[in-house]
C-alpha cells in the first residue's frame, strides 16, 4: 500500500447542504463509530470521487464504496441511510472494485427520486474509516459543490492504539488463533479470508510476526507468510466488528485438506547419467520432441511516457485479462471442475489486489512504462513470497508470474500463440496455470519444469487433465536442444534425455497397449450395460450443447440424461426466441441418433446467472427464485421454452425435466400447462415429464411426486448443498460437500422406494453419478440410470458390468447406518475396490 504520509484534500463528492455527523438520522454514523466525517443532503444525481485513489470496496448494491487515497487514508462514501435494503435499485455503478479513479471521476449514478421514495433518508456520508491513523478537518461551509474542497486529511503521528488479544474496545474487536490450514495461509484459504472480510463493513487485519495486513488484500495476507500452526491475531474495527471477528475466526479455523496426489513421488531419486530427476506432479509415460517455452523479456524502459496514457493502457490490459479469467471460470463452473475454478478465482482476486495496483500505478506516475511497472510490481511481490522461505508460498509466486505474463501479453497486444510440434513435451522454467490450459488445448503430450512444486496449481490442473508433468528438474532442462527426442516418465519423476531406439520402442509399446485398452473399452461402450446378474443400467451423459451431445454419442452414451438449457445460450447478451430455442434443442436430438434426450427447463438463479436474464438481487440467491420457481415471476419464459420443446421431432425422444421442484402442486401446475400447450399445438400426446430430486423436500415427497411424474432424476449437487447446509461453491467446505454422506444415501434410498411404488424409474444426474466409487451404491439403492460426464461413459459402463446387483443391494443398506461420508467411502473401497 502506498503511504506517503501526505496531507490530502477531499473534494465534495456530491452537491448539497452540509451536515455534521451528529445530525445524521442514524445512530451508528452519528456516534462516529464508523470514523470521523461529514454528511451531505444530495441534490445532484451522481457520486464523484473526492480524491485520487483505488476503489478497495464496492457494495454489490452500489449504495456504498470505499476509496483508498494515495496517502493511505480510506474514505467510505455511503449514499442515503439504510439504502442497502434497496438491493441496488436506483444505483448504477460506473466503476469496479479495484479500479483506480481520479478526483472528480463519476463513480455511481443515482436515481434520487427512486431512492428517496424507498429509503429513510437521502443524507449521504463521507467517512474517514481509518481515523486512528488520520485526522480530519472539515472546511467550514453550509453548502457543498461537487469538486470543491470539503475537508482536509492529515496523518496522525502517534501509533495506532492496539487492543490486547481477546479484548474489545468500543467498536474494535480482536482475538488470536492458531492456523490449522494445511500448509499455512496460502492463496486459496487467503481468498476465503478476503471473501469473508468483504461481507462486513468493518476493516479487518491479520497480525503476525510484527507485520500486519488488511484482510481485503490477498497479496498482503500472503506476504505475512503465515504457516501451519502459526498463531495470528485478527483485529476488526467498525460497526460490525464483533460479527466480522467471529466470521474470520471461523474461516481461519477451517482446515482445508491439502490435495496431495496419491501418486506423487515426493523425494528425488539419485541422479543417473542422461536422466534429469525431478518430482512427479502428474503421472504418465510419454515420449516426443522437447519444446522449450520462454517467457516475455522486456527491452530497457526509455521512461519517456505520458503517465495518463500508460495508466489507461494498464487499466485496459487488466480488464482484458479479468474478462479472460472470468470466461475460464465460467467454463470451469460448467464443467464442474472445482480445482480449476478455485485456482482462477484466486487469480481474479490477485488481479484485483489493491497492493499490486497501487505499486504499478505509483511506478507509472514516476515515469515507468505500464509494462515495466506491472512487471516490477509483480516481481516485488514474488520476492516477498520467495523470501519467506516456505515452499507453499514460493509456489504461489508462480500464480503471480502467470498474471505478470498475461497482463504483459495484453499490454503488448500479443496473443498466446505458439506453434507446438505434434506430441511435444514442453519444457519451461515454470509453467503457469493459463499456459497449461493453452498447452492442453494444443495437445501437448507432457510437461517438465526446471522449478515448481507438486502442490502447485499447475500440478493440480495437470492431474485433472491427465497430462504427465514433472517439476523441479533443475535448470539443465532448459539447456536441452529444441526438438531433441526425450522420454518423460512422470510417475518416477524422470526426464530421459537420450532414450535409445529400444527405450523409445518400449515407451511406444506401453502407450499402444494403453491406447488399445481404451479403444476396447470404447468399443464396449456402445453396448448397453447390465450387471453380472442381469440388471440393466442406462449410462447417459450430461451435456450443455449439441457438440457435447455429439461427443457423448461417440463415447457410447445411451442417451442424454441432462441437457442444462441455461448453458445453451450462455454467451448471449439477448434472450433467444422460441425458434432459436427449438433449433438448439433439435440439434441435440439430432446429435443423439435414436437415443432419448432429457431436456431440463431453464435453471437460473443461485450460482447460475445469465446476462440476458437479469434477476432481482436476492439476500439468499440459492434459497430464492431459482429453477422452476422462476415460473412464479416470469411464467411467459417457461411457456416459451415449453412451446419450443414441444416442436422438436420426434417428440417421443424428448423428455422434459423440471429443476428445483419442492412440492407436488408445482409439478401439477406445469403438467397442466404442458397439456394446454399440447392442445394448442394440436398434439395428442405429451412428452414424458420428470422431476429433479435436488431439495430434501422432494426426496421426502418422492412417492407423492412419482404418482404424477413419469420419472425422477436425482441432482446430487444441489441435494448435497441443501441437505448438508453447505454451499456447493464454498472453497472451505468443498471437501465436505460429499454426496456419499449417509444422509444423502438415505434420501436416495427413499426416492427409489417412493418411485418404485408407482413403477417409475430413478436416475442420477448430479456429479455422484460420475464417481465410479459410488456406482455400486447407487445401483444397490435402486437407481437405474446414471447420467455422467461424456469422457466417463466407458469407465462407468465397465464398472456396472462387474457388479452383482443383489450383493450391491445388501451391502448398500449397511452404508445407510454409517457415521460420515468418509466412512462410506472407506466401506466402498473395501466392498468394491476400484481397479
Ligand atoms: C444437481 O444439482 O445435481 C444438478 C444436476 O443440477 P445442477 O448441477 O445443474 O444444479
Ligand atoms: Mg441442481
Beta bridge partners of 446: 425
Q: Using an 8 Å Cβ cutoff, are 812 and 777 in contact?
A: yes
The whole-angstrom separation of Cα 651 and Cα 683 is 10
Domains and CATH numbers, the chain: 8-155 (2.70.70.10), 171-252 (3.30.1340.10), 275-293+418-506 (3.50.30.10), 307-412 (1.10.274.10), 542-613+620-687 (3.20.20.60), 711-835 (3.20.20.60)
457, 469, 654, 828: the active-site residue: 457
Best-predicted range by mean pLDDT among 296-305, 511-520, 580-589? 580-589
CA distance 149 to 338: 49
- 448 catalytic? Reply is no
With a 6 Å cutoff on the Cβ, whether 765 touches ligand 1 is yes
State the average pLDDT for the chain. 85
Which among 667, 671, 675 is positioned nearest to 704, based on CA atoms? 667
Percent of the chain with pLDDT over 90: 43
Of 564, 657, 720, 722, the one to substitute when testing ligand 1's pocket (max ligand atoms within 8 A of C-beta) is: 564
Which atom of ligand 1 has the smallest separation from the CA of 566? Answer: 9
Confidence label for 736 from pLDDT (cuts 50, 70 and 90) = confident
Q: What is the pLDDT of residues 391-432, one digit of tens each?
A: 667 767 878 888 998 899 899 887 666 678 889 999 998 888
Site to probe by mutation for ligand 1, drawn from 747, 766, 788 as the one with most ligand atoms within 8 Å of Cβ, is 766
pLDDT of 258 reads: 35
pLDDT the model gives residue 163: 37
**SS3 of residue 607 by DSSP:** coil
Q: Which three cell numbers stand for residue 81?
A: 441511510
User: Quick check: pTM over 0.85?
Assistant: no
User: Measuring from atom 3 of ligand 1, which residue has the nearest CA?
Assistant: 715
Q: What is the pLDDT of residue 570?
A: 64
Q: Is residue 86 scored above 60 in pLDDT?
A: yes
Q: In which residue are the cell numbers 444422509 written?
A: 743
The larger pLDDT score, comparing residue 832 to residue 457, is at 832
Residue 94 phi/psi, 5-degree rounding, is -110, -5
645-664 pLDDT per residue, tens: 999 999 999 999 999 999 99
Least confident of 147-151, 348-352, 464-468, 716-720: 464-468
* Residue closest by Cα to atom 9 of ligand 1: 564
Q: pLDDT band at 730, cuts 50/70/90? A: low
Q: What is the pLDDT of residue 734?
A: 61
Q: What is the pLDDT of residues 100-113, one digit of tens each?
A: 999 999 999 998 88
Residue 384: its pLDDT value, please? 80
Indicate if ligand 1 lies below 6 Å from the C-beta of 436. Answer: no
Query: Ligand 1: which residue has its CA nearest to atom 10?
Result: 718
175, pLDDT greater than 80: yes
Q: What letter would DSSP give residue 555?
A: T
Tell me, yes or no, if 457 is annotated catalytic: yes
* pLDDT higher than threshold 70 for residue 146: yes
Whether 600 is in the pocket of ligand 1, judged by its Cβ within 6 Å, is: no
What three-state secondary structure class fits 655? strand
Model pLDDT for residues 675-723, shown as the tens digit of each residue: 999 999 999 999 999 999 999 999 999 999 999 999 999 999 899 999 9
The closest-lying atom of ligand 1 relative to the alpha carbon of residue 767 is: 3
pLDDT of 271 above 60? no
How high is the pLDDT of residue 198?
A: 80
Among the listed residues 74, 636, 130, 558, the one whose alpha carbon sits nearest the alpha carbon of residue 358:
74
Q: Looking at ligand 1, which residue's alpha carbon is closest to its atom 4?
A: 715
- Determine if ligand 1 sits within 6 Å of the CB of residue 564: yes
Of all atoms in ligand 1, which is nearest to the CA of residue 542? 5
* Cα–Cα distance for residue pair 59/39, rounded to 1 Å: 19
- The pLDDT value given to residue 336: 66
In this structure, what C-alpha cell is assigned to residue 75? 474514505
- CB of 561 shorter than 6 A to ligand 1: no
- Burial letters 74-99, b for 16+ CB under 10 A, else e: bbbbbbbbebbebbbbbbebebebbb
Residue nearest to atom 1 of ligand 1 (CA): 715
Rounded CA gap, 491 and 277, in Å? 11
Residue 664 has a pLDDT of: 98
Indicate which atom in ligand 1 lies nearest the CA of residue 721.
2
Mean predicted confidence (pLDDT) in 481-496 = 91
Is the distance from the beta carbon of residue 606 to the nearest atom of ligand 1 less than 6 Å? no
| Ligand 2 geometric centre to CA of 136 (Å) | 51
> Is the per-residue pLDDT at 161 higher than 80?
no
716 lines ligand 1 (CB under 6 A): yes
Per-residue pLDDT at 502: 93
DSSP count for the chain of H helices, then E strands: 26, 36
Predicted pLDDT at 807? 97
Test site for ligand 1: of 334, 658, 717, most ligand atoms within 8 A of the Cβ: 717
The pLDDT tens digits of the residues spanning 793-832 come to 998 999 999 999 999 999 999 999 999 999 999 999 999 9
Nearest CA owner, ligand 1 atom 8: 717
Helix (H, G, I), strand (E, B) or coil at 137: strand
pLDDT range class, residue 267, cuts 50, 70, 90: very low
Grid cell, residue 792, equals: 466417463
The tally of CA atoms less than 13 A away on the side-chain side of residue 10 is 33
Ligand nearest to the CA of 336: 1
Burial 714-751 (b: 16+ CB within 10 A, else e): bbbbbbbbbbbebebbebbbbbbbbbbbbbbbbbbbbb
Question: Which residue among 236, 280, 469, 765 is the active-site one?
Answer: 765
Cβ atoms of 675 and 711 closer than 8 Å? no
- Give the H or E element holding residue 713: strand 711-714
Amino acid at each position: 500500500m502506498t503511504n506517503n504520509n501526505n496531507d490530502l484534500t477531499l473534494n465534495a463528492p456530491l452537491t448539497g447542504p452540509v451536515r455534521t455527523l451528529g445530525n445524521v438520522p442514524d445512530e451508528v454514523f452519528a456516534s462516529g463509530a464508523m470514523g470521523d466525517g461529514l454528511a451531505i443532503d444530495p441534490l445532484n444525481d451522481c457520486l464523484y470521487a473526492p480524491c485520487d485513489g483505488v476503489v478497495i470496496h464496492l457494495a454489490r448494491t452500489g449504495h456504498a464504496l470505499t476509496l483508498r487515497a494515495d496517502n493511505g487514508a480510506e474514505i467510505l462514501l455511503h449514499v442515503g441511510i439504510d439504502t442497502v435494503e434497496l438491493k441496488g435499485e436506483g444505483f448504477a455503478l460506473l466503476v469496479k472494485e479495484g479500479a483506480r479513479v481520479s478526483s472528480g471521476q463519476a463513480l455511481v449514478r443515482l436515481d434520487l427520486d427512486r431512492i428517496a421514495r424507498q429509503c429513510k433518508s437521502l443524507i449521504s456520508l463521507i467517512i474517514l474509516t481509518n481515523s486512528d491513523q488520520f485526522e480530519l478537518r472539515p472546511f467550514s461551509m453550509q453548502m457543498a459543490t461537487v469538486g470543491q474542497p470539503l475537508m482536509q486529511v492529515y496523518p496522525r503521528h502517534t501509533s495506532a492504539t492496539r487492543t490486547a488479544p481477546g479484548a474489545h474496545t468500543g467498536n474494535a474487536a480482536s482475538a488470536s488463533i492458531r492456523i490449522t490450514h494445511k500448509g499455512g495461509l496460502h492463496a486459496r484459504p487467503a481468498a476465503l479470508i478476503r471473501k469473508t472480510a468483504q461481507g462486513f463493513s468493518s476493516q479487518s487485519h491479520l497480525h503476525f510476526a510484527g507485520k500486519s495486513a488488511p484482510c481485503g488484500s490477498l497479496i498482503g495476507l500472503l506476504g505475512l507468510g503465515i504457516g501451519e500452526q502459526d498463531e495470528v491475531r485478527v483485529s476488526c474495527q467498525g460497526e460490525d466488528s464483533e460479527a466480522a471477528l467471529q466470521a474470520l475466526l471461523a474461516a481461519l479455523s477451517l482446515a482445508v485438506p491439502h490435495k496431495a496426489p496419491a501418486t506423487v513421488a515426493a523425494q528425488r531419486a539419485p541422479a543417473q547419467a542422461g536422466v534429469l530427476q525431478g518430482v512427479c506432479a502428474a503421472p504418465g509415460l510419454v515420449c516426443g520432441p522437447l519444446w522449450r517455452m520462454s517467457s516475455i523479456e522486456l527491452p530497457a524502459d526509455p521512461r519517456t511516457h505520458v503517465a495518463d496514457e500508460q495508466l489507461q493502457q494498464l487499466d485496459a490490459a487488466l480488464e482484458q485479462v479479468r474478462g479472460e479469467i472470468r470466461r475460464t471460470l465460467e467454463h470451469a463452473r460448467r464443467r464442474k471442475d472445482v480445482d480449476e475454478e478455485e485456482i482462477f478465482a484466486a487469480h481474479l482476486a490477485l488481479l484485483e489486489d489493491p497492493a499490486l495496483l497501487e505499486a504499478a500505478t505509483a511506478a507509472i506516475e514516476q515515469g515507468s512504462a505500464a509494462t515495466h511497472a506491472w512487471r516490477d510490481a509483480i516481481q516485488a511481490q514474488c520476492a516477498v513470497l520467495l523470501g519467506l522461505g516456505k515452499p507453499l508460498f514460493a509456489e504461489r509466486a508462480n500464480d503471480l508470474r502467470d498474471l505478470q505474463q498475461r497482463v504483459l501479453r495484453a499490454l503488448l497486444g500479443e496473443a498466446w500463440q505458439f506453434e507446438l510440434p505434434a506430441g511435444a513435451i514442453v519444457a519451461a522454467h515454470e509453467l503457469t496455470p493459463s499456459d497449461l490450459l493453452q498447452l492442453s488445448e494444443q495437445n501437448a503430450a507432457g510437461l517438465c519444469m526446471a522449478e515448481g512444486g507438486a502442490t502447485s496449481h499447475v500440478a493440480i490442473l495437470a492431474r485433472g487433465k491427465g497430462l504427465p508433468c514433472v517439476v523441479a528438474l533443475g535448470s539443465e532442462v532448459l539447456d536441452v536442444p529444441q526438438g531433441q527426442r526425450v522420454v518423460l516418465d512422470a510417475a518416477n519423476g524422470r526426464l530421459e534425455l537420450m532414450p535409445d531406439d529400444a527405450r523409445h520402442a518400449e515407451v511406444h509399446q506401453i502407450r499402444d497397449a494403453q491406447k488399445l485398452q481404451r479403444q476396447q473399452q470404447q468399443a464396449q461402450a456402445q453396448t448397453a450395460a447390465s450387471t453380472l446378474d442381469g440388471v440393466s443400467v442406462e449410462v447417459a451423459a450430461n451435456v450443455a450443447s449439441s457438440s457435447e451431445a455429439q461427443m457423448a454419442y461417440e463415447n457410447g452414451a445411451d442417451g442424454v440424461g441432462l441437457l442444462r438449457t441455461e448453458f445453451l445460450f450462455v454467451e448471449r447478451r439477448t434472450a433467444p426466441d422460441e425458434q432459436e430455442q427449438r433449433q438448439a434443442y433439435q440439434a441435440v436430438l439430432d446429435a443423439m441418433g435414436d437415443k432419448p434426450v432429457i431436456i431440463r427447463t431453464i435453471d437460473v438463479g443461485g450460482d447460475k446467472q445469465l446476462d440476458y436474464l437479469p434477476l432481482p438481487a436476492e439476500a439468499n440467491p440459492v434459497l430464492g427464485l431459482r429453477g422452476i420457481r422462476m415460473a412464479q415471476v416470469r411464467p411467459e419464459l417457461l411457456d416459451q421454452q415449453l412451446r419450443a420443446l414441444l416442436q422438436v421431432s420426434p417428440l417421443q425422444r424428448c423428455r422434459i425435466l423440471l429443476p428445483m421442484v419442492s412440492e407436488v402442486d408445482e409439478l401439477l401446475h406445469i403438467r397442466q400447462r404442458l397439456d394446454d400447450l399440447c392442445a394448442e399445438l394440436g398434439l395428442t400426446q405429451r412428452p414424458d415429464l420428470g422431476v429433479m430430486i435436488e431439495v430434501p423436500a422432494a426426496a421426502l415427497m418422492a412417492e407423492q411426486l412419482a404418482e404424477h411424474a413419469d420419472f425422477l432424476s436425482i441432482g446430487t449437487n444441489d441435494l448435497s448443498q441443501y441437505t448438508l447446509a453447505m454451499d456447493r461453491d464454498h472453497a472451505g467446505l468443498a471437501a465436505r460437500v460429499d454426496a456419499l454422506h449417509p444422509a444423502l444415501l438415505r434420501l436416495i434410498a427413499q426416492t427409489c422406494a417412493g418411485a418404485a411404488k408407482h413403477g417409475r424409474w430413478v436416475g442420477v444426474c448430479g456429479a455422484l453419478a460420475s464417481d465410479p466409487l459410488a456406482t455400486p451404491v447407487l445401483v444397490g439403492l435402486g437407481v437405474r440410470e446414471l447420467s455422467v460426464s461424456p469422457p466417463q461413459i466407458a469407465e462407468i459402463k465397465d464398472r456396472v458390468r462387474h457388479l452383482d446387483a443383489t450383493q450391491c443391494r445388501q451391502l448398500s443398506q449397511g452404508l445407510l447406518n454409517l457415521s460420515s461420508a468418509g466412512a462410506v467411502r472407506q466401506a466402498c473401497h473395501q466392498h468394491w475396490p476400484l481397479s
